[in-house]
Structure 1
Amino acid sequence: MPLVHATANCTLHAVKNLDDADSGFLEQLIPDPDPEESLANPCMLQVTAFECGEFSLGAAIHHAMCDGLGATLFFGAVAELARGAEQVSLEPVWDRDVLLGPRSPGRVEAPVGDYLCEKGRNPYDDEEDRAFVREFFHVREEWLDRFKALMLEKCGQKFTTFEALGAFIWRAKVKVSDIPGDEMVKFSYSTNIRKALKPPLPAGYWGNGCVPIYVQLTAKELLEKPIWEVAELIRKSKRNASDEYVRSYMDFQEAHRREGVSAGKKEKPLSFLFLKIYIAYRALTLTTK
């Protein structure tokens, strides 16, 4: 596991308010491997020492290895050992091939077929698909509170931050993209399946414990629906992450590995990742990428 040593010409106290910190500075606290290097070293660490003697620990972890919760469990165990514990409080569990391996024989009994790429085409081969742009948007809690309170007033329902903000960003992205009204658009995201499985994954499982879920509408339907109805669709989609859906997705992925599995076909997906990034940045002593 490569370990990068770095220094910062300021104190940790000077950047503790991450909501106001410069995003470029935060990026410097995290290893930045290229795609080939990240495959060769799926976990890289960076220790940055500050002038005050304190330090931050940043990690770049390949998503194929574990998800955000898995990384948190792993580093929590490391922190316990660093503080002198002889044994971690939560025994780590791996066993991915047993817990999340495909069935034999495989069977697909849930609607996961929309994740199959077009035959003979990798969706990431086109130049247009590779033109990603990273932007940082700081959303203050008081803005979210007002937004969710407004939706509660309009429809009488309480929504999570993920549901409310996801609906807002999805609709805004489609609106500014000038997508034809009859074109299908997807809101694609990863959901935690640790408790959805029967039996649930062990509490100490630190591997990748998520599968993709999506909501799809035509662009016209999305833009014409009230925002709370869009948020409700996102909420309902979470219920699709049943044991059978997860098992079917794993079998589907194994059967179609060579054809490519992505957010699916020609529709324009919006992968919703910013909440994970925002939450990770709020803990400077464990900044993950």
Structure 2
Amino acid sequence: MEGKDPVKVIRDALSRTLVFYYPFAGRLREGHGRKLMVDCTAEGVLFIEADADVTLDQFGEALETPFPFSKELLYNVPGSDGIVGCPLLLIQVTRFKCGGFTLGIRVNHTMCDATGFTQFTIALAEIARGAHQPSVLPIWQRELLSARNPPRITCNHREFDKDKDMVEWKTITGSIENMIERFFFFGPTDIASLCNLVLNNQVGSETEYTTFELITACLWRCLTKALQLPPEKQFRMGCIVNARARFNPQIPIGYYGNVLAFPVAVSTVEKLCENPFTYAVELIKKAKAEVTEEYMHSLADLLVINGRPLGTVAWSFIASKLSRIGFRKVDFGWGNAVHGGLTGGNAFGELYLMDYENAKNGEEGVLVPLYLPANAMERFAKELDGMLRNPNQAIKSARSQTILKSSL
């Protein structure tokens, strides 16, 4: 690719990719009952060409999240970050003096989930490398997840409980000005420690858990203590679940819309803190298992009946796994990327579990950005260290693998 301009290559590929993903070139409109729809106006997407007077080496030896200068590498065009009537994609290609470049993308989440977004990015890269069409052709077919007629809510959806005690919740969590961001890495030893905590509490046959379940339960428990919540309050942890495989027949390959649910695990603060760690893990596992094909149909019906309501915010956190998305392996013709992932800057109440390679020792693990009030962040770090570094906890690496699923 020497001598080729990444801006021209990617911009041309984008124009051809949008022939297949033409809804991205339209605009969202809001209809009756707050129903969102795509008006295929062909107004296009936003594309920014930029140059930076630096080399990639100047960013440091190890490129880590949060990526430096992310606001400059993905400029927020004024008036473009709304939901209705705004461009659905914002893309910026920035050239460096050394010949390298970055590709920054912002996508309207209403259009697709992480799986769908990855599919679009891979298609863009394939066409940039000379393909005439994507290897996986996109499927719109949003009627697959339309509400039934008549709509009927058949499952319990605690994720839409009415927000209670919102004033007290805001008082406890503090103002935005007091928030700080910090990143926590869970390596193989940390995962083994969480497995051992479960093993020490299990009676009888051993249940299998995923890394996601273990880490999310750990975060939930540490957050509960760090925020010093009243013991009688119910504190919830939502889990983003990709429900594609929960349908029979499965959602077809190529479908790039949202196929997500976010069931919640709920517990009083007192029970969460006083019960063994396994209690929290089991609640997370049970919440994820609630997502079935019927649950998804019930969810679609609920959204229609209640006019696209917002999920519960007060006394809640929500965790999402961003594993195997594979941004680093997307090849636009110059080979794999040296860095790929979120830019950082998540909001309070949101937890992202990302595959990550620790630059210090090369360990593969999970990175979690966390956004908390400064005093709560200090307490959280102390609680987490206490869970992972318990001197009385013997390492049982061989046995711990029997309860850990390979899947996140």
TM range (shorter): 0.7 to 0.9
CA distance in 1, matches of 2:159, 2:59: 47
Deviation at 1:61, TM superposition (A): 1.3
In 2, the alpha carbon distance for the partners of 1:180 and 1:45 equals 44
AA in 2 matched with 1:269: S
1:54 CA displacement: 2.0
Aligned partner of 2:305 in structure 1 is 255
Identify unmatched segments of 5+ residues in structure 2. Answer: 1-44, 329-336, 344-408
1:4 equivalent in alignment to 2:48: yes
- In the alignment, residue 262 of structure 1 is paired with which amino acid? G
Moved more, 185-194 or 133-142: 133-142
Q: Distance in 2 between matches of 1:85 and 1:272?
A: 36
* Separation in structure 1 between the aligned mates of residue 125 and residue 260 of structure 2, nearest angstrom: 24
* CA shift digits 1:185-217 (9 cap, x unpaired): 110122101111232211111111101111001
Name which structure has the greater RCO, CA cutoff 8 Å, separation 6+: 1
Q: Secondary structure at the match of 2:263?
A: strand
State the distance in 1 between where 2:322 and 2:174 align: 21
Matched with 2:108 is 62
Aligned match of 2:156: 111
8 Å Cα contact 1:148-1:158 kept in structure 2: no
Q: Which residue of 1 aligns with 2:380?
A: none
Cα deviation for residue 261 of structure 1 reads: 2.9
Q: Distance in 1 between matches of 2:68 and 2:76?
A: 12
Give, in whole Å, the separation in 1 of the partners of 2:153 and 2:275. Answer: 32
1:78-111 per-position Cα deviation (integer Å, ceiling 9, x unaligned): 1111111122211111121x11111111011111
Q: Distance in 2 between matches of 1:138 and 1:276?
A: 15
How far residue 145 of structure 1 moved from its aligned partner, in angstroms, is 3.2
| Preserved contact between residue 195 and residue 214 of structure 2 (Cα < 8 Å) | no
What is the Cα-based RMSD across aligned positions, in Å? 3.3
Taking structure 1 as the reference length, the TM-score comes to 0.83
| Aligned-partner residue type, residue 73 of structure 1 | Q
Secondary structure of the corresponding residue to residue 38 of structure 1: coil
Q: Is the 8 A contact 2:92 2:104 kept in 1?
A: yes
More deviation, 24-33/239-248: 24-33
2:286 aligns to what? 236
**Residue 89 of structure 2 contacts residue 108 of structure 2 at CA under 8 Å; is this kept in 1?**
yes
Rounded to whole Å, the distance in 1 between the matches of 2:180 and 2:245 is: 32
CA 1:146–1:285: 2 relative to 1, 3 Å:
closer
Aligned-partner residue type, residue 318 of structure 2 = S
- What secondary structure sits across from 1:53 in the alignment? coil
1:201 to 233, 241, 251: 251
Gaps of 5+ in 1: none
Judged with a 3 Å threshold, the aligned counterparts in structure 2 of structure 1 residues 270 and 56 are, in CA distance, closer, same or farther, namely: same
What SS does the aligned partner of 1:44 have?
strand
**Deviation readout 1:210-248 (Å, 9 max, x if unpaired):** 011110010101111212321122112211110111100
Distance 1:278 1:130 in 2: 35
Change (3 A) 1:113 1:236: closer
| TM-score, L = length of structure 2 | 0.60
In 1, Cα distance between equivalents of 2:51 and 2:323: 23
1:47: Cα distance to partner? 1.1
Structure 2 residue aligned with 1:139: 185
Helix, strand or coil for the counterpart of 2:69? helix
Q: Contact conserved, 1:4 with 1:46, CA < 8 A, in 2?
A: yes
Match of 1:29 in 2: 73
User: How many residues of Structure 1 are paired with residues of Structure 2 in the alignment?
Assistant: 280
Matched, 1:174 2:220: no
Partner Cα separation in structure 1 for residue 146 and residue 152 of structure 2: 13
